[in-house]
Amino acid sequence: MTSRLIRLSHIILQVSNAERVVQELMTKYQFQPFAARGLDGRSPSQVALRNGGVVFMVNENNQKTTKGSSMLYDATVPLPYPDTACNVSFDVEDVPGFCQRLLSERCQLLVPPTEVHDDYGLVTFCVVKSVVGNVRHTLIDRTRYGDNFLPEFQNLRSDSNPVVPGDLTCIDHVTYACPRGSSPHIIKWYERCFGFKHFPLSKEEDCDRGFEISGPNIGLRLTAMDSPELGKCGKLVLAESLPQKGINQLDLFLNHHKEGGIQHVGLFATDIFKTARSMANQGVCFTSQPPTYYSDPSKQEEIQGVGLQAEILSQFGILLDSKSQNSNMPNGYLLQVFAEPLWSKDSFYLELIERRGADGFGEGNVRALWRALNDFLEGSTQKDDEKIRSTAA
């Protein structure tokens, strides 16, 4: 490959009301805005927010703000995607060289290599369409730039008003909800174009079949990829539903993203208990687990085996897995907790994850998450139905 990935830079959200989403990320999830453009109303509003090592860019995308104006470092998603996570942006060594590679693979460039500069230097970027639904990737070379974000963005922080260090280290993984049967094609595309490799979730896993989890009220196929250049952060996870009865969050998500999209992002927390408690105090609702998850004797033994208490985990719905096939330490384990969707009940959501020597994704945790989110969706649907019946009466 003529150029390589350096790091996962940020995730872009395109929303119909940027002010509302920025406020929610600030107040609930403790992100701090540090750079922005378009605040004067002459171009679409774009705001960059940071929590520790995690950066989100919130772009306003509606007919009023995009008509006759341009959005920098991204390409506008056509409606009906007003509220969506849609761009995984990477820092790269050489944008023109990377683009030549992409064009040789017949990729669609939404924005060709473009230079933007200001008093602090020069940035080169391009935007390429992924093979997953409305997802695309902004590739950025900022090696010749000396400010804290990107040209044409106004700094919102100064020496007298600095960004306070946050609790999040990096974006651990990005999960795509994918149409059934599409994962092998997606994996091959990311391998050819970006150098990602299959990351097995079990020792016996077949790359084409993925890691299948099935049983009563669950049917799920997971396949993961990682990049050597990105280290342990920035994995891509593909999730497909298997034929089953009843409602499930993947198929509902695909009702709005027919060809797939970013379902959730896992944020690496250095202390998941501290971060979850702080966010919950600010109004974040985490998906609750059934009491049987924590009272099951084998799970209690597992929790006690790593020196934790079930009562502490259950307070915020935190899941524990110490049996991951990819644990790189004999006693390694991981902790996860999932927030309820950021917008509508079947939309994008955030996850907190802390890895203590484990780099996989536990089957037990996946089963618990699947059931918890399905219960949330069914409960929301029942409430909506009751509201409709009450209005009709």
Any known ligand binding at 173?
yes
Count CB neighbours of 60 within 10 A: 24
The C-alpha atoms of residue 70 and residue 47 are separated, in whole angstroms, by: 15
- Burial class of 161 by CB neighbour count within 10 A (0 to 12, 13 to 18, 19+): exposed
The DSSP bridge partners found for residue 85 are 13
Give residue 135's Cα distance to chain centre: 12
Please state the φ and ψ torsions of residue 110, each to the nearest 5 degrees: -80, -30
Question: CB under 8 Å to 216, separation ≥6 — which residues?
Answer: none
The C-alpha atoms of residue 356 and residue 358 are separated, in whole angstroms, by: 6
Please state the φ and ψ torsions of residue 38, each to the nearest 5 degrees: 80, 10
Pairing relationship of beta strands 168-177 and 235-241 according to DSSP bridges: parallel
Any known ligand binding at 354?
no
State the binding site for Fe cation.
173, 264, 351
State the binding site.
173, 264, 351
